[in-house]
Amino acid sequence: MKILVLNIGSTSFRFKLYDINRLDLIASGKMENLSTENSYCIYDNLNGKIKFDYNVSNVFDALSLTNKLILNDATGVIDSIDEIAAIGHRVVHGGNFFKNSTIITNDIENKIEQLIPLMPLHGPRTLETIKLCKLLYKNSINVAVFDTAFHQTIPIENQLYAIPIHYYTKYGVRKYGAHGISYSSVLKRYTEIKQINKDSINTIICHLGGGCSMCNIKNGKSFDTTMGFTPLAGLIMASRSGNIDPSIILYLIKNCNISVEQIEKELNEESGYYGITGETDAKKIVEESLKGNPKAIILRKMANNDFKKNLLGMMSINEPDSIILTGGMGTKNKEQRELFLSDLEHFNIIIDKEKNNKVFDSEAIISTNKSIPIYVIPDDEEKEIATECVKILRR
């Protein structure tokens, strides 16, 4: 039997197919730039990768292409979709409803729908995918794995906002965090690398990608994180603003005749890197900054200052034994790593530029011998989700 894992982004669709016994990867695929003229797919059935342009305009198209690839005579790896015992879904926000992974019943589906306002970028596509999977894979169970579950260990003093307490007690307004599946994956791998008990680990994991966040790990558990009530808070991101003065929103509504809906869309989809440069790809922004593009230069300075303030703030609440970088930008963008970790010698953070330049999407230590250890560890969210599916199937 097999496990199909689906990881849905705002403009991307990734899948991986695992054998249920040892969680061996059988096939994987990713579709990028959904709903645009530039959509394409990369598929790997372990006999070789193929990349091709494909008009993926919605989730149904993505799932149809997934089935075609894994069942096709030329590229397929299974004979029937009935071989798929479970489908694992990454769900960005679990709110107060979900503290653990769960089988998706109609009631669970309804609760996920209620949480869409807390995950406006990912929620609608995730819910659409769940509904379609119930129709297309009638003999498979669907499992929801929540990004917020990892952060349930954050103590109450790090969860609460300094607003009237009834917003927490009545409406559940508090810090939930995100990227928890990524953090869990990286933390497990780190324990294997160090060969130490998870409970003895104190580290800061920096997830740097389209979404960016940091997590302070104390005694092997999430102690604090930069994302908050929603994934909009914290660091400057590809299209999300990160932290801003909340009065800006009130000012825009009261004095600039801008609707709540427009502000929500702009803060989530048109801010961050995109808001300053018109570009979300950090690699392209680096290239533009080296050409002298003033907007790209300013944005990189903003992101650099923002990263350092958040990192040192995280270090101040619980001294780490190491710093770990993950996520697409954290593992594949040597220029951003060097920028973010430069000029921090007085905090015992010293990057080795030669080591750093050699690292692309692989495990490595990129610090000098005099520095607190700085690791690059790619995450594997899909395998983490598959592991959760196996746990539920075995119950």
**Residue 90, annotated ligand binder?**
yes
- The residues near 254 (Cβ < 8 Å, ≥ 6 apart) are none
**Residue 210, annotated ligand binder?**
yes
How far is it, in rounded angstroms, from Cα 238 to Cα 69? Answer: 30
How far is it, in rounded angstroms, from Cα 165 to Cα 160? Answer: 8
- One DSSP character per residue, 101-158 reads -EE--HHHHHHHHHTGGG-TTTHHHHHHHHHHHHHH-TTSEEEEEETTGGGGGS-HHH
Asked if 317 contacts 223 with a C-beta cutoff of 8 angstroms, the reply is yes
Pairing of strands 102-103, 49-53: unpaired
| DSSP-based three-state secondary structure for 294 | helix
Tokens of 123: 């929620």
**Residue 7, annotated ligand binder?**
yes
Asked if 4 contacts 88 with a C-beta cutoff of 8 angstroms, the reply is yes
**Residue 240, annotated ligand binder?**
no
**Residue 209, annotated ligand binder?**
yes
How far is it, in rounded angstroms, from Cα 383 to Cα 174? Answer: 29
- The residues near 246 (Cβ < 8 Å, ≥ 6 apart) are none
- The catalytic residue positions are 147
**Residue 172, annotated ligand binder?**
no
Binding site for Mg(2+): which residues?
A: 7, 381
Binding site for ATP: which residues?
A: 207-211
Binding site: which residues?
A: 7, 90, 207-211, 381
